[in-house]
Structure 1
Amino acid sequence: MLHISTNVNSQLKSINQYDSFNVLDADDVQSTNDMLLKVLYRCNAIAGWTLLIAPDHAVNKTMLDSYGININKLLVLKQRDLINLEHTLDRALSNGNFAAVITWPGVLSQKQIEHRSLSCSKTALYCFKGATHLPMSKLAH
């Protein structure tokens, strides 16, 4: 298992587990991948589920296991399977079962991100900006 807890806090200074809204800006595939795994690692330590809304093949079980992320607390929804993204986000943010909701780059428009920043929720929302995509692999489930 890869140990990352020693440097997570220093590399994620702009991400606070107590902030309800976080916009993440990753420059490329590798930085998006690294930041996603660090956010998942941090969220894994919080009570509650983590919801990841992502395209097909965004993460795989081996990658999550190598970072010590408990996949039993992670729910991955494929973007293509969502009928109403905004309804799904609003429900996840308001029902109290999720510690965090993470959206993939390109899942939300700038307007949707701004609208979510106005909502009051105890669930942390992490929105990646941009159109970066991870290499293809099998989903965590």
Structure 2
Amino acid sequence: MISYQTATPKLIRPSLTTSNQASAALIRSKQASGKVTEIIMRDDELSNMPMLMPLLAQLSRDDRWFVWVAPPIVLPKALLADAGIDLSKVILLKPDDNHSVYELSCQALKAGTCHAVITWPGYLSEDELNGLEDAARTGSSHGIVIRGRQNA
């Protein structure tokens, strides 16, 4: 297991002010429910990674860990830091003979210590996708599944 610590750009979120505390609580409760988002790429090439850097940077700014499971390549730390990713909050998990990408992703999502888990699983069955959604709800985490069109 390799750990990074980086910072990323913020996602667009509604502006919250102290006079808007009820709305802030509602938004937090909805965010805490845990969800999985799929990103389908045209191919397995990483030519689209620059497009994802602002998202990754935003996700690394939370107080909890940001876990990456089985990225297709390990990007240079300098590139990630230049993109604003807080490497001190990033944990990189690699599958092995005893732990599949799916199992590692579910464990990280369920733990409750991760704000977001981004995974590159390749093909996922409907049952596995449902399993990731259940794990995200259990851990109040957000899962991001990135896969090629041929694996969708």
AA partner of residue 67 (structure 2) = L
Equivalence for 2:42 = 27
| CA apart distance, 1:131 | 7.0
> Larger strand proportion, structure 1 or 2?
2
Equivalent-residue separation in structure 2 for 1:57 and 1:35 (angstroms): 16
Structure 2 counterpart of 1:139: none
User: Mean Cα displacement is larger for which, 70-79 or 108-117?
Assistant: 108-117
State the Cα RMSD in Å: 2.9
Structure 1 gaps of 5+ residues are 10-16, 133-141
Does structure 1 conserve the Cα–Cα contact (< 8 Å) formed by 2:58 and 2:85? Answer: no
* Alignment partner, residue 15 of structure 2: none
1:98 to 1:40, Cα distance in 2 relative to 1, 3 A: same
Counterpart position of 1:91: 107
Q: Which runs of 5+ in 2 are unaligned?
A: 1-7, 13-29
Change (3 A) 1:82 1:60: farther
Q: Is the 1:105–1:130 contact (alpha carbons within 8 Å) kept by the matching residues of 2?
A: no
Partner of 1:137: none
- Report the count of equivalent residues: 119
Deviates more, 1:60-69 or 1:83-92: 83-92
Give the whole-Å Cα distance in 2 for the aligned partners of 1:98 and 1:37: 19
- Contact 1:113/1:127, CA 8 A, preserved across alignment: no
Contact kept, 8 Å, 1:105 with 1:131, in 2: the verdict is no
2:85 alignment counterpart:
69
Q: Normalising by structure 1, what TM-score?
A: 0.67
Pair 1:117–1:45, CA change in 2 (3 A): same
How big is each residue's C-alpha offset from its partner over 1:9-65, in whole Å with a ceiling of 9 and x where there is no partner?
A: 4xxxxxxx936210112224322x134322311111212001101246332201101
Q: How does 1:1-141 map to 2 (within 5 A)?
A: 5=9, 9=12, 18=31, 20-28=35-43, 29-31=46-48, 33-55=49-71, 57-79=73-95, 81=96, 83-85=98-100, 86-104=102-120, 106=122, 108-111=123-126, 112-119=128-135, 120-121=137-138, 122-130=140-148
Identical amino acids, percent of aligned pairs: 22
Specify the SS of the correspondent of 1:68.
coil
8 Å contact kept, 1:26–1:35:
no
